Every structure is written in C-alpha cells, then in structure tokens.
Structure 1
C-alpha cells in the first residue's frame, strides 16, 4: 500500500529541486535517505525530511509491518512550480530590474516492492 507526502511552497526554484528528485526516483528508501543526507545541494534537507514523512505515513497505513522487510522504494516523485514572489532590484540610471523568487511543490509516493510481486 502506497503512502503520499507533500511539501508546499518550498522557497527553492523548481529546477534546483528537480535535480535531486531525479536523483532519488526509483531508489530504495534507505539508499535515497543516505544520498540526500550526504548531498551538498541545499534542497536536500527539506527533501530528506519529506521522505522521512512519507515513510512515517506508510508506517501509519501499514500497522505492524516493518520498513526493512517491506522493501520500500520511492515510487513517484515530482516537482511542480509554486508561486513566484516578484521583487524589484535597483538598476543603473534610475531603472529597476524584476527579480522572481521562485518556489515549488514536491509530491513523493513510497510503496513496497512486495506489493508489486503479490
């Protein structure tokens, strides 16, 4: 049985978050957690917390089952663009440049490999 976790309005551009999402897609949960823990990219911290939340949601749905014996993996992960905060930055000769501070929404789904074979 799969479990879902969502992260909304994370103040990182979607492009930067997609680099990490592509890295952990399809991995076993333990390997994905280690990959995110030791990644040097700054979006790896909220993505690691989101993965831990998805694992906790899976534990709540499947009472009595162990994570290690269930062989959990990252079934689906995708990143959508969130709202953009528009700010103005001073420019030469009295002009102004628009700065778009982007955000994103991340959805992650974990599932056990045993459910596929059964």
Structure 2
C-alpha cells in the first residue's frame, strides 16, 4: 500500500527543489526527516519536509499503515505556472522577470 501528498504552487523554481528531492528519494522516512532537518540552507527543504509529513500522516490515518516501515517510494517536482513581471530598464525599455512555481508530489509506501 502507498499514500501520497501533493503541495502545489510553491514559490521556488523546480530546478532548485529537485536538488533537495534527489537527496531523500528511496530513503526510509526517519532518515529522510533527518536529512531534511539539516538541509536548512536550501529553501526547498522546508516545503519538502512539510509535504513528507503530510504523506506520512495520510499513510497513518487513512491507510492505517505502520509509520516505522515507511520509505519514500517516489518524489518528483513538476513545474507550476509562472508569474510574469516586468522590470524597467534604460531608455524606456523593459525586461521580463519570470518567477517560477513548483508542484511537489511525494509517495510513501511500506517495505
């Protein structure tokens, strides 16, 4: 059995979030928590930690799975919609500013 959690519209680029997601893919949940707790230099670690906690809570409460035997089966970060802004430049011109968003999906399963 498996349980999943999804966090949408996170204001961080998918490329930066995937660096943190690669750290915990395939790890046991306790080890993944430990890795994310000490990866605080990366902003994405905070969002992935909360999504992982939600997936574990879903497994425990809705699927009645044992938390001690869970591992991160899948984790992927997809691109969400982009926020498009404009910045004034010299001689009346403008340049685009693209603020990227992410959708984080975590699937946990029993060993």
Q: With the length of structure 2 as denominator, give the TM-score of the two structures.
A: 0.94
Q: What is the number of residues matched between the two proteins?
A: 110
Task: Give runs of aligned pairs for residues 1-118 of structure 1, distance below 5 A.
Answer: 1-39=1-39, 40-63=41-64, 65-68=65-68, 71-113=69-111
Residue 43 of structure 2 aligns to a residue whose secondary structure is coil
Q: Gaps (5+ residues) in structure 1?
A: 114-118
**Whole-angstrom CA distance in 1 between matches of 2:31 and 2:90:** 49
**Whole-angstrom CA distance in 1 between matches of 2:59 and 2:46:** 20
Residue 73 of structure 2 aligns to a residue whose secondary structure is strand
Q: CA RMSD, aligned part only?
A: 1.0
Kept after mapping to 1: 8 A contact 2:66/2:110: no
* CA deviation after TM superposition for structure 1 residue 62, in Å: 3.5
* CA deviation after TM superposition for structure 1 residue 66, in Å: 3.4
Q: With the length of structure 1 as denominator, give the TM-score of the two structures.
A: 0.89
* CA deviation after TM superposition for structure 1 residue 61, in Å: 3.0
Residue 91 of structure 2 aligns to a residue whose secondary structure is helix
* CA deviation after TM superposition for structure 1 residue 101, in Å: 0.5
Runs (4+) off by over 2 Å: none
Residue 60 of structure 2 aligns to a residue whose secondary structure is helix
